[in-house]
Each structure stands twice: as C-alpha cells, then as structure tokens.
Amino acid sequence: MTSLIFVKIIHIFTDSARGSQSFTPEPLLGSLDIFLFSLIAGLLIYWFFFRKKPEPVPEMKTQQIRETSFIEKMKKTNRNVVVFYGSQTGTAEEFANRLAKDAQRYGMKGMPTDPEEYDMSELSRLKEIPNSMAVFCMATYGEGDPTDNAQEFYDWMQGTDDDLAGVNFAVFGLGNKTYEHFNATGKYTDKRLAELGGNRVFDLGLGDDDSNLEEDFISWKEQFWPAVCEFFGVEATGEDSSIRQFELVVHNDINMNEVYTGEMGRLKSFQTQKPPFDSKNPFLATVTGNRKLNEGGNRHLMHIELDITDSKIRYDSGDHVAVYPTNDAAVVNRIGERLGVDLDTVISLKNLDEESNKKHPFPCPTTYRTALTHYLDINNTPRTNVLFELAQYASDPQEQENMRKMASASPEGKALYHSWVLDSERNILAILEDLPSLNPPIDHLCELLPRLQARYYSIASSSKVYPTSIHICAVVIEYTTKTERVFKGVATNWLKNKEVTDNGHKHTVPMYVRRSQFRLPFKPSNPIIMIGPGTGIAPFMGFIQERAWQKEQGKEVGETILYFGCRHKNEDFLYQQELEEFERAGVLTQLNVAFSRDQEHKIYVQHLLKKNKEQLWKLIHSNNAHIYVCGDARNMARDVHTAFYEIAEEVGGLTHTQAVDYFKKLMTKGRYSQDVWS
C-alpha cells in the first residue's frame, strides 16, 4: 500500500515539472489524480479505523470432569456404605436405594451407585474407609447375563486378580426360577468377590420374581441389618421413621419451554430428533399399521408397524424393540381427584443429598400430570416400602396399622400383603380408593412410586425385507381382578389405541432397538427348528421373511421348520395366510400347528415335537440344525426342553443325564437359543 502511494506522488510531481517547462498553465492535480488520492485516503482510513481486528483466541474453559472414583466421593461425602446395582428394569436400583436409605437407621451413611459410572477397579481401596461395606443388588438378565449397566463390572471381575482382603461385602441377587440360569449374576458376584479375598458380611440373598421378589428381599433385609450391626458393633438409632429423599419445589412463574413433557433425557428431544437413538433418547416412530390378527375369541391380538425412515436405526431379525408407553389418562385424573390436587402444577423434586448423581427421581421441572402419565408406574401393585412410607398419612388408626403390618417381615404381615395387595392386584389408585383416610401429599407419592419402564417386544420382521419398518406382534392384556376392577396392561392397551387414521393425525411411539443374541445361523444352509406358540411367533416371522429373501438371492437355504401353537384354528391362528403362503412357496419346509382346544384332549407344541422325533433327532444330531424357542418360560419352554430330552433318550439312546448335557452343549455353541418371558 505505501509503495503504491509513493509511486503515485512521484508521477504527480514529474508531470508538474514537465508542464512548467512548456509554460502551459495546468492545475497541480488532475481529476483522475484527485479520484485516486481520495481512494487511497479512504483505504487508509478503513485500514486504521474500521478494519476488523483479529480476535484474541479465547481460553478454553476446562469442562468439569465427572468424578469416576466412588472411593473419593465416599470420603468427600462421609459415606461408609456403597450399594451398587445391576438393573435392567429398575427393580435392583430401587432395592439399592432402599438399602442406602436404611443405612441411616443404623448410624451409617449409604450411597446407591451405578457401577457403569465409576471405576470399579478401585474396589480394593474400600478398606481405606473405616467400617465400610459394599452391597451389590445384581439382577440376572437374558441367558444368565449381567444387566447392561453391570457388564463392565462383570468383565472386570472375570479378568482381575486384585486382592480384596479387608473389603466387606454382601450380595442380593434378583432372578426368576423359570429361567435355567437362575440368579447367575448374583451367584457369580458373591462367589468371585469371596475368591478375590473379600469378606462376606452376610449370606447371598436370592430373590425369585416368579414367586414373590419383594417378600424375598424383605426377608433377606430383615436378617441382613442385624448381621451388619453385629459385624460393625453398631445399633439401630431408634424407631423406623420416614426419611424423605427429595424436596418439593413449586414453579409458579416458569417458561413452559423449560418444562419436561415426557422426554426421557434431553429437553425438547421429541421436537428436534437427533440420532443416535437409545433408552435416553428414543425415536418417535410413526404408526403405519395396526390390525387385529385373530378372527374370534375374547382376546385382541394385534400386528403393529412402526416407520423408522430417516432414523438411522438398524436392526437384525431376532432383536427387540423397546417402546415407552404412557399411563391411562383416566387413571391419572382419578388419582388427582382423589388427592384433590391440580395436576398441571409445575414442580421439581430436588434431591436433598446435593452430592448425589441422581438430582431428580424423574426429569424435572415437569407437571404432576406428566410425571403420573409418562414417568411413574401407577398400574402395578406397590411394594411394601411404599405402604410403609404412606402409612403415616392414614388418619384411621386401623388403616395405618394394617399398612405398617403389610410392610413388616412378620408372617401375618406377609400374608396380608400377599392377599390384600398382590392377589387382589390393587394398584396405587385402588389402595387410595379402598383406604379412605389415606391422604398423602402427592409429591411424596411421586417420590415413592417406581419409574415406568420401557416394554420390550421381539421384532416380527426382517430388515432385509423391511429396512424402514419394525413390526410388533402382541396380545392386549385386559381382565377383571378379584376386587371387580378391570386391569388393563399399560403398553398393549396404549398400542391398541394407536390407530392409523386418514384425518392427518399421525400416532407416534417413542422407541429404540435392543440387540439380541437370538440370531439366524451364519450359514443359511443350516436347518432351523423354530418353536413359538402364541405371540412367540413374532421373531420367527422375521426369520422366515429373511430365509425367503436369502432364497431370492440365490443362496442355498436349509430346512426351515416351524412349530406354532394356538387355542383354535378359526380364532387365533396368527399370520395364517402369510405362513401358508411361505409353505406353498417352499420357504417353510414344514408348518406344524397345535390347536390346543379344538379337540377333547389338549395338544401343545411339545406333543408335535415328540410325534416327529426321528426327523428332529436326525436334523439336530447329524445335520447341524439350530433350535429356537420363543414364548412362555414358565411352562412352554420347560415342556419343550423336556420333549427334546426325551427325543435324545428315545431316538439317540442317551441317558437322561447325557441328554441334559447334550442340549447344554448345544446352548453353549449357540445352537439352542431361547427368547422367553414369564
């Protein structure tokens, strides 16, 4: 810039000199010179005064690092009992919270903790804290697997050789005896911690959800705390009393854009959807299909189709779809009316323990209506701790006494809880209606009720055939209880009402996909034997669709055999047309259907298995067939198991012990897979 000015000035004075030699009077500066001078002056002014100065690089603010040391957190907050939970449906977490709360009654300070959030290799350091103890509430999930949030801890236990001498521990397992690997995770945790030198304070507790998990937990807890007192030389501080964990904050003047309306994690996540989609960030899938599958009878079996276009969600045949239902609005309203509250009040429940990672029991701020509709389980029978905490709000002495009795470990109390709550299937609304003097503050009730959980369904489609759609097959739960109330399953009734309409309104379902080990063989040429009565047919619709697709691709596809069961051929033969078409096309090699009630003697799938025992044994023993069982765990899966044992004995010549061992090995190899529920 300066050299340009210098050249121009020389040019001006040279021209002036030439002009004076010819004595022709000319102006010192021509119009072009004036223009150029003005331009240069303007550029200089801009350069020095108006040019955007380079901005200084801002210092990076150091993001607050999340504490990953539970030991340091315990020291900082003066805790000496840490209660870890491996939880898939929220029950183990709930039990952990109760144990941590109980610790206060014995002069100890508890901390419920998700093992996924901390470095579990620090467990050996627990002895640094005087009179400390680690309690583990560990649920078993799937085929004897740890829950998702306990997987890393489980892997650590398997690989570590840390010395846990001086580390005091106790374990309560949550399982279900209808499954083969009953309480496998709890048993392994207890055994492994002892092997590493840990000091077992109290015996392993085994809860059975097929019987009465709550009763099992109460019975274990009643013996656990006296053992802890004896071990540490402490005593209960006095009478059991209600201890609030959260305080109520009412928001009278708040921007409604800051209020949660049903989102699981990020505020406004339903308005602005961003992948990846998971349990904390579900995708809102549009319902594009909803049809009744059965022709008659008093049940409602349905086929639902969810559109996952543009979600980037991928799934494989055999995976599960998780859906987040909402509670019945009529039940929510009746709770509000019974307690005499304005359900649209905006509130937050704030943890009184400021150091806790769990700031709220559910997303806050929100309204009571949203909490009772989207976040809290109001349909199931409440656990004993809820009755104990609410008893103080019953003004009738007899009602209060009965509530406290039901929450106790006495035989009379257990019997009363079993008959009055469990057998009668009283949910929280029924309890409020049948105990007129009970008037709890709604915020305390919301604090005590467990979270409403996602419901899982085996996907009834193949992504090879339906890449942008997920199908669900389910039966609507609805029946009359002993108190003459109508019990309605939350999720199935909610799904049933998600009808596809032409009026422009599109129903949506918050969902995500959970991966499964229930997989077709890697080689399509391997034969498959599928056993799935009732809605257990769901994953096999995906399997059969995929085998049809593989045939279309020119692949060699092995024998595809289905054993299906239902009550009546003319009522609940699910997907009859589709299955018969697959059989005609040669995709289904065999379609075997047991109609249990179309004749005098009931016929089930296990009877058909025995009828074809020679063929089945040849496929399994000689042709490397894969077996898949889906449906009821309590009876069907066991009976099918037994049928296969008998086939191995009768056709294969094995003893019963050898037969059991034979099929256990098939499971280990991934050739006998189950997707069952109780």
The set of catalytic residues is 458, 630, 675, 677
b/e string for 322-340 if b means 16 or more Cβ within 10 A?
bbbbbbbeebbeebbebbe
How many CA atoms lie less than 13 Å away from 158 in the CB half-sphere?
Answer: 8
Q: Which residues contact 257 (CB under 8 A, 6 or more apart)?
A: 268
The response to whether 66 counts as a known ligand-binding position is no
The response to whether 374 counts as a known ligand-binding position is no
Q: Which residues contact 496 (CB under 8 A, 6 or more apart)?
A: 290, 300, 302, 476
The response to whether 366 counts as a known ligand-binding position is no
SS3 state at 236: coil
The response to whether 455 counts as a known ligand-binding position is yes
The response to whether 20 counts as a known ligand-binding position is no
The response to whether 175 counts as a known ligand-binding position is yes
The response to whether 551 counts as a known ligand-binding position is no
SS3 state at 320: strand
Distance CA 220, CA 409 (A): 10
Check: CB of residue 559 under 8 Å from CB of residue 619: yes
Q: DSSP secondary-structure letter at 524?
A: T
The response to whether 417 counts as a known ligand-binding position is no
The response to whether 187 counts as a known ligand-binding position is no
Strand (E) positions, 494-625?
Answer: 508-514, 528-531, 560-566, 590-595
The response to whether 106 counts as a known ligand-binding position is no
The response to whether 90 counts as a known ligand-binding position is yes
The response to whether 161 counts as a known ligand-binding position is no
The CA R_g of the chain, rounded to the nearest whole Å, is 34
The response to whether 483 counts as a known ligand-binding position is no
Write the DSSP assignment of 607-659 as a string of letters: HHHHHTHHHHHHHHHTS--EEEEEEETTTHHHHHHHHHHHHHHHTT---HHHH
Q: DSSP secondary-structure letter at 118?
A: S
CA distances from 238 to 106, 224, 245, 400 (A): 8, 17, 19, 20
Q: Which residues pair with 247 in a beta bridge?
A: 350
The response to whether 87 counts as a known ligand-binding position is yes
How many CA atoms lie less than 13 Å away from 113 in the CB half-sphere?
Answer: 29
Q: Which residues contact 126 (CB under 8 A, 6 or more apart)?
A: 71, 82, 132, 133, 134, 166, 167, 168
The response to whether 415 counts as a known ligand-binding position is no
The response to whether 183 counts as a known ligand-binding position is yes
How would you class 299 by CB atoms within 10 Å of its CB: exposed for 0-12, middle for 13-18, buried for 19 or more?
middle
The response to whether 458 counts as a known ligand-binding position is yes
Count CB atoms within 10 A of the CB of residue 118: 23
The response to whether 326 counts as a known ligand-binding position is no
The response to whether 209 counts as a known ligand-binding position is yes
The response to whether 625 counts as a known ligand-binding position is no
The response to whether 223 counts as a known ligand-binding position is no
The response to whether 177 counts as a known ligand-binding position is yes
Write the DSSP assignment of 19-43 as a string of letters: HHHTT----SS-HHHHHHHHHHHHH
How would you class 29 by CB atoms within 10 Å of its CB: exposed for 0-12, middle for 13-18, buried for 19 or more?
middle
SS3 state at 248: strand
Smallest CA-to-CA distance from 567 within 606, 537, 617, 533 is with 533
The response to whether 182 counts as a known ligand-binding position is yes
The response to whether 596 counts as a known ligand-binding position is yes
Check: CB of residue 363 under 8 Å from CB of residue 340: no
The response to whether 245 counts as a known ligand-binding position is no
Count CB atoms within 10 A of the CB of residue 157: 20
Check: CB of residue 532 under 8 Å from CB of residue 627: no
Is-cis flag, bond preceding 276, omega within 30? yes
The response to whether 91 counts as a known ligand-binding position is yes
The response to whether 637 counts as a known ligand-binding position is no
The response to whether 180 counts as a known ligand-binding position is yes
The response to whether 657 counts as a known ligand-binding position is no
Place of tokens 């103080």: 392
The response to whether 142 counts as a known ligand-binding position is yes
Tell me the binding residues for FAD.
455-458, 473-475, 479, 489-492, 677
Tell me the binding residues for FMN.
87-92, 139-142, 174-183, 209
Tell me the binding residues for NADP(+).
299, 535, 596-597, 602-606, 639
Tell me the binding residues.
87-92, 139-142, 174-183, 209, 299, 455-458, 473-475, 479, 489-492, 535, 596-597, 602-606, 639, 677
